[in-house]
């Protein structure tokens, strides 16, 4: 067995493609705050959309924004699954996924036991 190190001619060496130059972070068109805000936009699951419609629960843009803000705040405190109780509705929200999982009116919610939540958000509006 030959233990000597041999030089490989340049034409036989592995050729790796040139790595494209990346922009400096300050040159980026989107800043961190705007990217973070996009990721924190509250989504509504198909199931929750159906429940909102069949239970005739109406929430305006201001209420949705308030819910979104409170869910973000809850997430910062380590809450992953939350019950959001409002004047006219109760929503189960996955703060981890920024998704409304289901919705019910307060009459329905009053005689329920909620499991697998680790936080509650009360909103009076």
DSSP bridge partners of 84: 91, 121
Six-digit token pair at 16?
Answer: 């790796």
> In the chain, what are the domain boundaries?
42-125
Tokens, residue 32: 């961190």
Alpha-carbon distance of 62 to 44, in angstroms, equals 16
pLDDT for position 110? 86
The whole-model pTM stands at 0.67
Phi and psi at residue 78, to the nearest 5°:
95, 5
pLDDT one digit per residue (tens) for the chain, 125 residues: 666 766 656 665 555 566 666 665 555 555 655 555 555 689 999 999 999 999 999 999 999 999 999 999 999 999 999 999 999 899 999 999 999 999 999 888 888 899 899 999 999 87
The reported pLDDT for the residue numbered 10 is: 62
Which residues fall within 8 angstroms of residue 22, CB to CB, at 6 or more apart? Answer: none
């Amino acid at each position: 067995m030959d233990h000597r190190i041999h030089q490989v001619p340049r034409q036989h060496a592995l050729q790796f493609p040139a790595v494209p130059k990346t922009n400096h972070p300050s040159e980026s068109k989107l800043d961190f705050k705007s990217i973070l805000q996009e990721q924190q936009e509250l989504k509504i699951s198909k199931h929750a959309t159906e429940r909102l419609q069949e239970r005739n629960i109406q929430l305006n843009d201001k209420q949705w924004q308030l819910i979104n803000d409170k869910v973000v705040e809850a997430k910062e405190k380590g809450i992953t699954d939350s019950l959001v109780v409002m004047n006219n509705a109760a929503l189960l929200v996955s703060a981890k996924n920024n998704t409304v999982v289901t919705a019910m009116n307060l009459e329905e919610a009053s005689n329920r036991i909620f499991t697998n939540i680790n936080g509650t958000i009360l909103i009076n509006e």
